[in-house]
Structure 1
Amino acid sequence: MKARVYVMLKSGVLDPQGEAVRHALATLGFDGVEGVRQGKVIELELTETDATRAEASVTEMCEKLLANTVIESYRVEIAQ
């Protein structure tokens, strides 16, 4: 079973990497971009075969390690 975790800074948290990307895009002539938020995607290969248990396990991983829940939010997707 595969899991994909999307981690993003919460709204209101300064995103210097996103701002650097926005500035670089403007420098390259892409003037229509008003804001950029940069995040990360984490893909996991799991031995678990039950989707509910897999999601619970990955959620626990996010809470303990994969996301800094003070400043980041996350979303978990489970696929067969």
Structure 2
Amino acid sequence: MPRIVVDVMPKPEILDPQGKAIAGALPRLGFTGFAEVRQGKRFELTVEGDVTEEVLEHARSAAATLLSNPVIEDVTRVEVIEDAQ
């Protein structure tokens, strides 16, 4: 079954304490060379049947109204992916 992936990230002006904590931990664990970390959310919506433009528009609407908080977050991707089986 196809899936629609929705990625949501904090707006650039919003503080990201989880991202800052990860950024601080990376060099302590030997992972160097990363200047900044921002942590977001990923949603996978499994679709019954074909992904039509109408289904994709419903996913975009859900992303904007339910999956993200538009005051502090941006929807950065709404994309169809096919299962590799």
Q: TM-score, normalised by structure 1?
A: 0.85
Aligned to 1:33: 34
Structure 1 runs (4+) greater than 6 angstroms displaced: none
Deviation (angstroms), 1:34: 1.6
Contact 1:19 1:36 in 2 (8 A): yes
Q: TM-score, normalised by structure 2?
A: 0.81
Identity of aligned residues (%): 40
Residue type of the partner of 1:33?
Answer: F
Aligned to 2:80: 78
Gaps of 5+ in 1: none
Cα distance in 2, alignment partners of residues 31 and 76 from structure 1: 31
Gaps of 5+ in 2: none
Q: Cα RMSD over matched residues?
A: 1.6
- The residue correspondences of 1:1-80 to structure 2 (distance < 5 A) are 1-47=2-48, 49-74=50-75, 75-80=77-82
Per-residue CA distance 1:27-72 (angstroms, 9 max, x = gap): 2233422210111111011125243111100011112210111111
Matched pairs, number: 80
